[in-house]
């Protein structure tokens, strides 16, 4: 995966012998192989031969062969989050971006600003960024370590940020988080890691964020659009073809006029969080303006993939109702008069689909034409009784589809001039692109 491949690269650059295992070959594993990392494409106990420690993701099962051998023989087992938390301690500014959605985009925006300002940061993101040639980069400077802080299984509590970003708090990962109170408590714990000498960059427009962080020990730098008391705000907002420009204000002073190269109102919030982080790092208005303008999107975040029959096709990672709404509302502004907004959606995990199905149906209804694909199981079995047919039946005019050939054929047959199509989900729905003959 992206996170472990990033850690493998950082470790290799640090002079360690590095190897790894995965189920399938990918461009990530091939890149690591070119760099000198030993990769095997199966899980077996002898994969640990010659290695002194095992770094693992909490997504693996307890019967993973490498994990079983390491536990039996006393080989140190270090979770991905613990290992990353250890590596980042060599840096003076450790910037962790958390939130139920927007983490990868905001982390990538911050990377664009920091790289553009010649700070030479080390970056570990959850999405690939063209200016980094992947999802990670290792800088020579020991000043800035920028990373995406995933909340699943509370892994972000093993990190050590002194600038902790909290973009939003909402119900998700229902196979682990059983209540909103649990999520609030976890987010507060993450923010508290920054400590007395650090700061929290927090969304003032998110009521759950305000509630969770009330009275937190680190200094809070807030950002927002609606909240007039936010430390960093957007004013004089304008929109052209789904892309926004606005004044970034720090208290009563104008920092710069930002012009985003990515669509969607939600990206104003990502830009404000980025600006707040940049200001904490001592950067100026011109550096912030240039870095935001240079950001043209992370991989699988409304990423333009080409045209099918003259219709633009986009790839998006959204897999939560709030993310879906934000993406589709932004895309709606891109549809020409008389055109239709298409969404081919693959839900991620049965538990999330079952718990949030009403929200999925409401958000997907923003599109004119919806194709609901088979649910991506990930680590789960379907004990919830959810199906593509059930979700599609809650959306006017939506259709359930199976496999990847069927939705591809529907798009090739039914798309017309003026339409915009988004293929959306966090699973393997991207395989549809291979069947579209995009130009």
Q: What is the pLDDT of residues 270-280, one digit of tens each?
A: 999 999 999 99
pLDDT at 291: 98
Q: Is residue 158 a contact partner of residue 82, using CB atoms and an 8 Å limit?
A: yes
pLDDT at 198: 96
Band (pLDDT 50/70/90 cuts) for residue 264 is confident
Residues 337-364 have a mean pLDDT of 96
Residues 80-99 have a mean pLDDT of 94
Residues 408-422 have a mean pLDDT of 96
pTM of the model: 0.79
pLDDT at 66: 96
Residues 135-158 have a mean pLDDT of 92
Residues 193-201 have a mean pLDDT of 95
CA geometry: angle 218, 173, 431, nearest 5 deg: 120
pLDDT at 41: 94
Band (pLDDT 50/70/90 cuts) for residue 118 is very high
Does residue 391 register a pLDDT over 80? yes
Does residue 177 register a pLDDT over 90? no
Does residue 17 register a pLDDT over 90? yes
Residues 209-228 have a mean pLDDT of 96
Structure-token pair, residue 265: 């109102």
3-state secondary structure of 420: strand
Structure-token pair, residue 246: 């606005």
Q: What percent of the chain has pLDDT over 70?
A: 100
The overall average pLDDT reported for the chain is: 94
Cβ neighbours of residue 214 under 8 Å, at least 6 residues apart? none
pLDDT at 134: 85
Band (pLDDT 50/70/90 cuts) for residue 81 is confident
Residues 72-93 have a mean pLDDT of 94
C-alpha closest to that of 262 among 227, 292, 218:
292
3-state secondary structure of 152: helix
Strands 243-250 and 232-240: antiparallel
Torsion over CA of 185, 160, 92 and 124, rounded to 10 degrees?
A: -100
Cα-to-chain-centroid distance, residue 182: 21
Does residue 57 register a pLDDT over 90? no
Cβ neighbours of residue 358 under 8 Å, at least 6 residues apart? 394
Residues 100-108 have a mean pLDDT of 94
Q: Rounded CA gap, 222 and 230, in Å?
A: 5
C-alpha closest to that of 263 among 288, 251, 245:
245
Residues 248-277 have a mean pLDDT of 96
Q: Rounded CA gap, 438 and 420, in Å?
A: 14
Does residue 314 register a pLDDT over 90? yes
Does residue 23 register a pLDDT over 90? no
pLDDT at 411: 97
Band (pLDDT 50/70/90 cuts) for residue 10 is confident
């Amino acid at each position: 995966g992206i996170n472990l491949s990033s850690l493998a690269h950082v470790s290799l650059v640090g002079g360690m012998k590095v190897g790894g295992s995965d189920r399938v070959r990918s461009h990530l594993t091939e890149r690591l192989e070119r760099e000198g990392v030993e990769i095997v494409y199966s899980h077996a106990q002898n994969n640990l031969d010659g290695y002194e420690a095992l770094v693992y993701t909490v997504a693996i099962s307890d019967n993973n062969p490498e994990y079983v051998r390491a536990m039996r023989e006393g080989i140190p087992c270090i979770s991905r989050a613990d290992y990353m938390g250890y590596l980042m301690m060599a840096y003076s500014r450790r910037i962790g971006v958390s939130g139920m959605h927007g983490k990868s985009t905001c982390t990538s925006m911050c990377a664009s600003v920091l790289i553009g300002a010649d700070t030479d940061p080390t970056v570990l993101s959850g999405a690939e960024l063209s200016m980094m040639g992947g999802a990670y980069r290792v800088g020579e400077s020991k000043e800035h370590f920028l990373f995406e802080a995933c909340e699943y299984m509370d892994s972000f509590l093993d990190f050590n940020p002194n600038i902790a970003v909290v973009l939003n708090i909402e119900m998700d990962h229902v196979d682990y988080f059983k209540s909103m109170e649990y999520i609030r408590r976890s987010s507060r714990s993450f923010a508290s890691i920054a400590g007395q000498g650090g700061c929290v960059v927090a969304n003032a427009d998110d009521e759950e964020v305000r509630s969770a962080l009330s009275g937190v020990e680190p200094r809070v730098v807030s950002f927002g659009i609606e909240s007039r008391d936010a430390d960093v705000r957007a004013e004089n907002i304008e929109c052209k073809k789904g892309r926004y420009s606005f004044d970034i204000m720090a208290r009563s002073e104008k920092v710069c006029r930002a012009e985003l190269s990515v669509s969607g109102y939600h990206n104003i919030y990502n830009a404000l969080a980025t600006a707040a982080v940049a200001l904490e790092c001592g950067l100026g208005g011109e550096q912030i303006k240039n870095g935001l303008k240079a950001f043209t999107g992370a991989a699988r975040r409304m990423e333009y993939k080409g045209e099918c029959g003259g219709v633009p096709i986009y790839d998006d990672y959204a897999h939560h109702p709030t993310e879906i709404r934000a993406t589709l509302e932004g895309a709606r502004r891109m549809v020409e008069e008389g055109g239709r907004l298409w969404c081919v959606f693959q839900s991620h995990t049965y538990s999330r689909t079952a718990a949030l199905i009403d929200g999925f149906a409401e958000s997907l209804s923003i599109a004119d034409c919806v194709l609901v694909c088979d649910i991506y199981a990930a680590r789960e079995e379907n004990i919830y009784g959810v199906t593509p047919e059930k979700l599609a039946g809650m959306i006017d005019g939506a259709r359930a589809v199976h496999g990847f050939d069927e939705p591809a054929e529907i798009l090739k047959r039914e798309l017309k001039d003026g339409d915009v199509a988004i293929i959306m989900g966090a699973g393997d729905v991207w395989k549809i692109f291979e069947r579209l003959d995009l130009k």
